[in-house]
Structure 1
């Protein structure tokens, strides 16, 4: 079968003839396509071929892990999914995550295919079948707005869905925030079944939260609100510590629990509370999960400590690449900064250009020193991208090459300074034009830190 799906830059219908020449016996295509049919080939017309394609993939690969959850939101999907996986492992369940970091599990399953936040349906269901073959029955998936909008997750049997937050991103694709929200709401409207667990960060924009709650109510799903405004898990206080942060949490019974988290970053707390709400079976399980928090480890490229210099200055790497994510990142590091706070960041080419100056505004608001450099320029002129970023922070220092920016800034760091290199996180390459050049922020940082 050849699935002739409409794409952003090309249309699958343009390749039907080639597919038939190569042996395709059935073609799935959109109802509104007028295509000359070939004898000996079956044509399946549907108003929503992407949706049908996903259901077909789910039927073709029928073995799925019994326990599946999915997380959507602008920021925090990767961390929340990873914390879910870690908590499951601490409860002695084989588990996996599928998302921005690829496929991660505690078994010998090694996925070597393309890495997308939400894979295409065929790849996704192949992965799920392979997880079952490796005795993994617990999986947490990242549900990107693109993946939801393109029906890649339809056909899954979810137990729970999570919503981290909604702030500006991907408007080059969705055009405005309402369409962006509508894409993410598909997780609850169409994929998470009636009666499923819907865990939501209660501290997000209240108008957005209202729409999410309305959708969940209409679907008769079990709403679990977490955060400072939470009801299922209410965050009473966060106290920054040199080694992490102390949390006071009130659970749904009214009982208050203290626990120390060995991770920096206030936003990590939001992700962890959401992770608990997604998988907790009952009150006893909530307490058990909270007791496991001191054993959690940081997620690759998320507030990852890359180096401590001889003078005590600390350097972190983070994936933050939206205005909101940069603000939360810097606000989280501020309580741990005893001198100056530096940030190096850029903006990706061929992506939402409107957020570029907004990112710089947030950086300037919360950091003492702002250095604008290249991210993944892709097919745009790097100089023009930096110029658009700098509109939001005219006084920022501009250093073109990302490695050069890191090298120069490390030399300036004084005792008790903190530097965060933001935007690329776990990524192992830098995309210039259509070429991916090897580049890892952590490796580059350690290279120059070792020379001091």
Structure 2
């Protein structure tokens, strides 16, 4: 009830923001991407394809906003900025000659009317799996929020292989174009052959979503294929940051589905052990904690639980809930070498990363999930500066001493 009242306030904010900046989206071809996972990479792929097609693009994602070569900060822990930030960025994009906008749209932003007034030419739904139930309460309400983007888009792009498709597709009275890796759809690897260096089946889906969208926007197949072939991972998305005797991968995975996808991929690449450093956020969807513990136990050889935005929850309490889903692992002692099927708890994230990298052997993969590109840790009511990449560099330097 209270959130519904707040959303009316957000709607007035969005109206005021559009009015102040002159409804800039009406002068742009706007693509919106929503879904539980894959939004950021899909947005990056679409933006790159459009640029190769000669379009000037503004991109707004979890990584920030980009107009041409200019990077704009959109705030900490933010997927879709406030209405005033969005409209200000779009107005600036129009004034600098942009013709297209690609926006990552979260379920919170849709529910809170942050993107009200934006004329979406194409809306994409990548997938829907367990996430944000602390806010939406039920999967039905979560799905309904995601579907709002599609209902406000001239054309919709849907993933036939996703379990949400059968529920969502009948509710969309718009032009719908489909893609699939396994099923029958308008765009598949058979009907639209392409190659990419991006890892994992999850990125095949991201490429198909981007290709389907850009074909709808009139970009030719050759341009699309060239962009996909030369695509690189966005920061913190299945990103290998060290690859010598062992590997270190940084990934933003924060959902059970994302865990399953990235850990499945990493487990197939290892020649030794998969050593996984992660924690989960405080005051966020507690139901997924044991589920993600269960997924980690399925693929990981060594689990190191640590801090990830605990807010005012204790790290130990969060980790206890994660451990409810972990079976078949024994408690490890940091004073001794790590072996398979051991679980450690190291609250300090930097210490946890140091421990993982110090103990990595030839052929191992050390994977760090959760923080990725984010520049702070939410601890209590404060934002503590954090740099996952710097922590890895420091750990590697310590190891080489």
Q: TM-score w.r.t. structure 2 length?
A: 0.89
Instruction: Output the CA distance in 2 between the equivalents of 1:282 and 1:93.
Output: 11
Q: 1:404 aligns with which of 348, 351, 355?
A: 351
Instruction: Give the whole-Å Cα distance in 2 for the aligned partners of 1:90 and 1:364.
Output: 42
Q: Does the alignment pair 1:290 with 2:228?
A: no
- Partner-residue secondary structure (3-state), 2:204: helix
Determine if contact 2:155/2:174 at 8 Å carries over to the other structure: no
| CA-based RMSD | 2.2
Alignment partner of 1:149 is 2:111: yes
Quickly say closer, same or farther: Cα 1:407–1:49, change in 2 above 3 A: closer
Change (3 A) 1:384 1:201: same
Deviation per CA, 1:32-89: give whole Å up to 9, x if none: xxxxxxxxxxxxxxxx454354234323322335210001111111111111111112
- Corresponding position of 2:143: 181
Aligned counterpart for 2:181 among listed residues 203, 218, 227: 227
State whether residues 74 and 164 of structure 1, in contact with CA within 8 Å, keep that contact through their aligned partners in structure 2. yes
User: Any unmatched runs of 5+ in structure 2?
Assistant: 330-342
**2:335 paired residue number:** none
Per-residue deviation at 1:314? 0.6
Shift of the alpha carbon at 1:358? 0.6
Report the Cα offset of residue 328 of structure 1: 0.5
Residue aligned with 1:227, SS: coil
Displacement of 1:179 after TM fit? Answer: 0.7
Displacement after TM superposition at 1:317 (Å): 0.4
- Would the aligned equivalents of 2:58 and 2:90 in 1 still touch at CA under 8 Å? no
User: Counterpart of 2:169?
Assistant: 213
Measure, in 2, the Cα distance between the counterparts of 1:124 and 1:404: 38
My pick for the range that moved more, 378-387 or 86-95, is: 86-95
Residue 368 of structure 1 is aligned with which of 293, 301, 314? 301
SS in 1 for 2:156: strand
Give yes or no for contact 2:43–2:104 (8 Å, CA) kept in 1: yes
- Structure 1 residues 290 and 53 mapped into 2: Cα distance closer, same or farther (>3 Å)? same
Is residue 2:15 matched to residue 1:59? no
> Per-residue CA shift, 1:402-448, capped at 9, x if unaligned?
11111111111111211110011111111111111111212101111
Match of 2:384 among 437, 440, 448: 437
Give the one of 288, 292, 297 matched to 1:359.
292
Q: Could you tell me how far 1:283 is from its partner in structure 2? A: 8.7
| Residue equivalent to 2:237 | 302
For residues 325 and 113 of structure 1, the distance between their equivalents in structure 2, rounded to whole angstroms, comes to 24
Over residues 204-231 of structure 1, what are the superposed CA-to-partner deviations in whole Å (9 max), with x where a residue is unaligned?
11xx211211122xx2323223322141
User: Kindly tell me: are residues 268 and 428 of structure 1, through their superposed partners in 2, closer, same or farther at Cα, counting changes over 3 Å?
Assistant: same
How far is the alpha carbon of 1:282 from its aligned partner? Answer: 7.7
How many angstroms apart in 2 are the aligned matches of 1:160 and 1:72?
Answer: 11
Q: How far apart, in 2, do the equivalents of 1:391 and 1:119 lie?
A: 35
Q: Could you tell me how far 1:102 is from its partner in structure 2?
A: 1.2
Q: 1:35 matched to which residue of 2?
A: none
Structure 2 residue corresponding to 1:333, chosen from 266, 272, 277:
266
Contact persistence 1:372–1:390 (CA under 8 A): no
Distance 1:67 1:319 in 2: 29
Cα shift at 1:326: 0.4
Distance (whole Å) between structure 2 residues aligned to residue 223 and residue 335 of structure 1: 32
Q: Does 1:201 align with 2:159?
A: yes
Find 1:448's aligned residue among 389, 395, 399: 395
How far is 1:198 from its partner? 1.1
Return the alpha-carbon distance in structure 2 between the equivalents of residues 50 and 430 of structure 1.
Answer: 27
- From 47, 50, 63, give the equivalent of 1:101: 63
Distance 1:8 1:381 in 2: 26
TM-score of the superposed pair, with normalisation by structure 1: 0.80
1:299-352 C-alpha deviation (Å, 9 max, x unpaired): 01111112224xx20101000011111011111223322222221111100101
2:278–2:369 contact (8 Å) kept in structure 1 = yes
Query: Whole-Å Cα distance in 2 between the matches of residues 230 and 128 of structure 1?
Result: 37
- The change in CA–CA distance for 1:188 and 1:282 in structure 2 (over 3 A counts) is closer
Q: State the SS of the aligned residue for 2:287.
A: helix
Count of paired positions: 382
Q: Assess if the C-alpha contact under 8 Å between 2:237 and 2:251 holds in 1.
A: yes
Say if 2:333 is the partner of 1:379: no
Q: Could you list the per-position Cα deviations for residues 236-284 of structure 1 after superposition, in whole angstroms to 9, with x for gaps in the alignment? A: xxxxxxxxxxxxx212xxxx63x43222222111111101111214898
